[in-house]
Amino acid sequence: MTLQDIKQRFGIIGSSPALDRAIDIAQQVATTDLSVLITGESGTGKEVFPQIIHQFSSRKHGPYIAVNCGAIPEGTIDSELFGHEKGSFTGAHEARKGYFEVANGGTIFLDEVGELPLATQARLLRVLETKEYIRVGSSKVQKTDVRIVAATNVKLQQAIERNKFREDLYYRLNTVPILLPPLRERKEDIYLLFRKFAADFAAKYRMPVIKLMPDAEQILINYYWQGNVRQLKNIAEQISIIEKTREIQADILLKYLPPINTGGGLSWVKPDVDAQDFSERELLYKVLFDMKKELNDLKKVVRDIVQYNQGNINHIPTDDVPILNQLPNEESANSGLIIHSVKNSYTPSQKYTEPIVVEEALSISDKEKEMITKALQKYKGKRKKAADELGISERTLYRKINEYGIQE
């Protein structure tokens, strides 16, 4: 079956390479019994892929059960998954089969698997390793033949570091990984999805289809979409119901798009860069801000000296005389100009007739190198603390150290 056939069968809209790759992996792994871990942000459509895997597997005639692990209370999750015996706890008036017993011979989809308690994770690990489990309140070992597909929007590697998720269970589940891209990385699919949702809601509510004007279409495509496809569908439904006009301009669309916190204020478009690039940009902003602060401090010092001596340069009590024509204003601080001083460039009887020298500042890369060096010296070569101080990732710091040839 082709990718297009699969998309039509399961209602998948889009043609981005990352999405096609995820579908292709799901189709290939379906014929095996390997465990699959699907990762992706909330709202990216992870629940569709276990169905693809089940329908193209030899278990397609067996049961398929989807379990939202995050929606089941911790006190009852073991009973739900593995069943319990009569009288095993308060309220257990009769024996009950768990999902692993009901889904025997089929597929069980564990959504939000990162929310499982550690004790339940140990039980799940046993199922993966030996196909065995024990009901709550029983000592009898039971067998199950179940294909496990798990999904999470939690970064499990970070959960492992915080001791919230078992590392051995992670590697058992992650035999075959499938990564679903966020909607903002599928820009070519955003307008297609919106048109589909708008047409569906027009038919559902018996009204004309809404249409985006070119300016609104650009805003739609460039929006950050933190809630991904689920958020896009929700916006399409709201506009279809509330707006009387069927031609949606940019100002109308913006009323339905919550602004995104970019760190420097609220905006409707978040920088379309990866975490590493964003960290570097923050570092450059920090460099420029510090340079501006230093220049403003220098301006104040020179202004105070001139006012104190009533403009007479011969009364300055120092051997270092700034050679100035004009002090940088607020705007020039951003351009990176630094006023240099010249030592012993005058005699007390000499009138101030020296030429003005204003040179270009050190390049941003030089300033960046200086800040990284200072941070490493401050924390005695401990990269993690230095990276935290600079506001960048440890990986970016390591690359910068190699790039600038910094000796630690």
Residue 312, pLDDT score = 52
Average pLDDT across the chain, whole number? 82
Residue 10: pLDDT above 50? yes
Band of residue 51 on the pLDDT scale cut at 50, 70, 90: very high
Residue 393, pLDDT score = 78
Q: Tell me which fold the domain 364-404 belongs to.
A: Arc Repressor Mutant, subunit A (1.10.10)
Residue 45, pLDDT score = 94
End-to-end CA distance of the chain: give it in Å, rounded: 56
Residue 387, pLDDT score = 79
Of the chain, the percentage scoring pLDDT greater than 70 comes to: 77
**How far are the Cα atoms of 163, 216, 388 from residue 290, in angstroms, in the given order?**
38, 39, 17
Band of residue 39 on the pLDDT scale cut at 50, 70, 90: very high
Residue 269, pLDDT score = 61
Give 111-137 pLDDT, tens digit per residue: 999 999 999 999 999 999 999 999 999
Residue 194: pLDDT above 70? yes
* Segment among 72-86, 185-199, 238-252, 271-285 with least mean pLDDT: 271-285
* Segment among 24-33, 136-145, 215-224, 387-396 with least mean pLDDT: 387-396
Give 140-186 pLDDT, tens digit per residue: 999 999 999 999 999 999 999 999 999 999 999 999 999 999 999 99
Specify whether the CB–CB gap between 34 and 58 falls below 8 A.
no
Residue 324: pLDDT above 50? no
| Superfamily for the 3-181 domain | P-loop containing nucleotide triphosphate hydrolases (3.40.50.300)
Band of residue 139 on the pLDDT scale cut at 50, 70, 90: very high
**How far are the Cα atoms of 16, 76, 132, 166, 274 from residue 122, in angstroms, in the given order?**
38, 15, 12, 8, 35
Average of per-residue pLDDT across 273-301: 59
Give 370-386 pLDDT, tens digit per residue: 888 888 888 888 888 88
Average of per-residue pLDDT across 344-366: 49
What is the reported pTM?
A: 0.65
Of the chain, the percentage scoring pLDDT greater than 90 comes to: 61
CB atoms within 10 A of CB 343: 8
CATH architecture of the domain 184-267 equals Orthogonal Bundle (1.10)
Band of residue 353 on the pLDDT scale cut at 50, 70, 90: very low
Give 202-230 pLDDT, tens digit per residue: 999 999 999 999 999 999 999 999 999 99
φ, ψ of residue 280 to 5 degrees: the values are -65, -40
Residue 69 CA to residue 381 CA, distance in Å, equals 43
Band of residue 339 on the pLDDT scale cut at 50, 70, 90: very low
Specify whether the CB–CB gap between 146 and 103 falls below 8 A.
yes
Residue 329, pLDDT score = 47
Residue 273: pLDDT above 50? no
Annotate 148-181 with DSSP letters as a single string: EEEEESS-HHHHHHTTSS-HHHHHHHTTEEEEPP
Burial class (CB in 10 A: 0-12, 13-18, 19+), 213: middle
* Segment among 72-86, 253-267, 276-290, 389-403 with least mean pLDDT: 276-290
φ, ψ of residue 32 to 5 degrees: the values are -100, 180
